[in-house]
Amino acid sequence: MRKYLEWAQREPTTAQVVATLLPAGVLFLVALPAGIVVLAGRLDHALALPRLLLGPVNAVTGLVLLGVGGFVALWSVRAEARLGGGSPVPMIPTRRLVVVPPYAYCRNPMVLGTVLAYLGIAAWLGSASAVAMVLVLGVLLVTYVKLVEEKELRLRFGEEYEEYLRTTPFLLPRFPRRGSRVGPTP
């Protein structure tokens, strides 16, 4: 935990932010999706799992989930960079707590978006093993957030983060009613 707090004390340069986002982007936008596609085919074949093919439903469901999930995940990264002054990568953490959309709807929109996007890939493939891999990845991401990230944010942002915890759901978004305020109270 001490290392996380040390990283938070440094003022990152634009080059450092780009240097951390680039490998993270390659991992989450290229390597993991490619791994899901390749491994799902091999696992389905090795385990003799039937394909979950529903004709055009697979493509439509996959594209919708991939599009919505990708949008939410990238919106979250942009909010952290522009409003938080950092990145989602622990070595360049945000300097400010971001509590505006998409973070006003749930505390972990990046995790939500990533899991939805990867479920879109699984739906497109019609692969039971791909769905299982995405669910395992989702559990790992949520576990990391609960055990490491929330603890570190409590230390860094104190009462401001505690208020955010009380007013904003963990993963499943809550959208405000028309005309109501979004986010924690000032």
143: DSSP letter: H
**Domains detected in the chain:** 2-167 (1.20.120)
Residue 90: count of CB within 10 angstroms of its CB: 16
Give the tens place of pLDDT for each residue, 57-78.
999 999 999 999 999 999 999 9
Structure tokens at 19: 């240097």
The confidence score (pLDDT) of residue 127 equals 95
Q: Which helix (H) or strand (E) holds 115?
A: helix 109-125
Average pLDDT over residues 71-94: 90
Residue 181 pLDDT exceeds 60: no
Three-state SS at 141:
helix
Q: Name the DSSP class of 104.
A: T
